[in-house]
Amino acid sequence: MGKTLQLLCMTLALACAGFAADGVPLSADVSSQEARNKALAGRVFEEIFNQGKFQAADEIYAKDFVNHGLHRNYSLQEDQAAARGEKKAFPDLKMTVNLMVAEGDLVTVVWTFVGTNTAAGYGLPPTGVKLELRGITVWRIVDGRIREEWTSFDQLQAARQFGTQLKWPLIGFLSAAVILVWLLGRVILRQRLT
């Protein structure tokens, strides 16, 4: 009877230990890896976007990095060319991390982009438009390097901010063009009549 009770107690203790393990927080290894992944993700915003240290990309991204765009995938070279274009077009660019969550090999970041379009770049002429956008990026990090990216932000909101801030200068420019064409037409008409 004593051995049976002892065996039953051991079995019960092992079962309880198994249940307790399910409720225990992540092991130190997993949470420290997630902390390292979050630190790496933070470097993208601080070093690359805010400080313009594009050479840091060599330490941050895997050589076979893929940015999964909406309509096609982009290589590391294309992705970094776009980042350079953004920084060139918005020299005062400030990317702020609003929320960062890591789970396993994924890091998700909700961010805010604030900058003034004061130089040509990213396919834009200098407009003086101050842009503020919020977006979300998910990165997959493998062996201490960003391997994949998925980013989304409201492109219509960006266009709306450009349109709103450029509306009156654009209306003024178009009005001046219409008046100039009208005057030119009158001069040509007078020349034909005389």
CATH code, 63: 3.10.450.50
Q: What would the mean pLDDT of 94-123 be, rounded to a whole number?
A: 94
122 located within any domain: yes
DSSP H stretches of helix in 24-154: 28-43, 57-60, 76-89
64 and 137 co-located in one domain: yes
Q: Which amino acid is at 102?
A: A
Q: What would the mean pLDDT of 9-34 be, rounded to a whole number?
A: 57
User: Quick one: DSSP state of residue 60?
Assistant: H
Range of the domain at 182: 155-194
Q: What is the domain count for the chain?
A: 2
112 and 46 co-located in one domain: yes
Q: What would the mean pLDDT of 1-24 be, rounded to a whole number?
A: 48
pTM: predicted TM-score of the whole model, two decimal places: 0.70
In whole angstroms, what is the distance from residue 49 CA to residue 94 CA?
A: 7
5 located within any domain: no
3 located within any domain: no
In whole angstroms, what is the distance from residue 173 CA to residue 125 CA?
A: 16
